[in-house]
Amino acid sequence: MSMALQGIKVIDLTRLAPGPYCTMVLGDLGADVIRVEEPGGGRMARERGGETDAADAQRRTAFNALNRNKRSIALNLKNDDAREVLHKLCQDADVFIEGFRPGVVSRLSCDYETLSAINPRLVYCSLSGYGQDGPYSDLVGHDINYISVGGALGVIGSPEVGPAIPMNIIADFAGGGLHAAMAIMAALLARTHTGRGQTVDIAMSDGAGYLLASMLSEYFSSGTVPTPGDTALNGSAPYYNVYRCKDGKFLSVGCIEPWFWSTLCQAIGREDLIEGQFNSANFKSVVGDLRSTFAQRDREDWWTELRAIDNIAVAKVYSLDEMVDDPQNIHRKMVVDAGTVNGEVVRQVGIGPKLSDTPGTIRTLGPTAGQHTREILDSLGYDSSKVASMIEAGAVDAG
């Protein structure tokens, strides 16, 4: 069976979560992704003392879904021979993606100008915190900083506590990795019309702001600045909130539509609350009433009863161990057995996009650093003596 991105060759020079997530998406959809890694795992591995156990390293990378469907070559790009290898890899590549701070790729001779001269059809993606230009472009940062500048952190939380720190989903994975994958595929489509590659400049702060399109539209229209916990969709409204049940577990309620709200109130015996759905002056007292009501029974009791009634939008708030055992997630194959490592079954997240004719697949588990170095060098025409000399000189690492 063919795959959507079959025949697309991706050179992945990224390190931290956003880039590997982007190339995981491309790999899941069929692209041939070659990870270019540093010998010995790079600076992070050196700071942490490096890998001491080969079996542990193999297990760790096999369980890391971000590494799946990829091959790995280890190149020391400070070495001329290694840079030559990278340039050869790019001769017939479709996509090159890097995640360094602006300017680093020029010092490594893998900037767009250099690589596009080798391959004018190359789609070149730079994925960084604040983008390739602007007053913040040289700043270091992480998800928490990018969602701060992008505006997302300022609307998440509660009036009592202030901003609440989410996991690094918004900037790293959505505004970064997924944003980049979408843009790369758009550039590949554009290439079918123009015959040329182009640069794709992805800033995670931009991505966080892009996700706020609806909220920004409301702000530009009304002039009202939303703050944590004071809008209908970020914690102030009783009909769009979370409630602790008797067993300490939470139920989420999303009954925005009046007919959803009235059906919920009737089902839980609180018909007295129906009329006050949109009276914001009473929101706190209604939230308090619902907290008291939901606290009377366990979450599973509420869920079993309410899910059986049409027009009530409720869901259990899962911890990760509950999420992976949920029948909907299992049915949708969002938790899968991806393979085995040393006899142990490897469970991973499944593939989100469901394509009917060219579905994504998990073909291989993540490789250890440099696992495919010899194989890739052989495909580029390097003979065994040249490979041996490059290994001896530290230009490449064969794992």
Query: Catalytic residue numbers?
Result: 142, 172
Measured in residues, the chain has a length of: 399
380: three-class secondary structure by DSSP: coil
Distance CA(72)–CA(37), nearest Å, equals: 7
Distance CA(13)–CA(131), nearest Å, equals: 17
Distance CA(349)–CA(336), nearest Å, equals: 6
**Rounded to 5°, angle at Cα 151 from 149 and 153:** 95
Backbone angles phi, psi at 221, to 5 degrees: -75, -45
Contact 314, 268 (CB under 8 A): no
Distance CA(74)–CA(97), nearest Å, equals: 16
Distance CA(15)–CA(37), nearest Å, equals: 8
Nearest to 392 by CA among 44, 76, 34, 53: 76
Distance CA(79)–CA(388), nearest Å, equals: 15
Tell me, what DSSP letter sits at residue 367? Answer: P
What's the token pair of residue 13? Answer: 């020079």
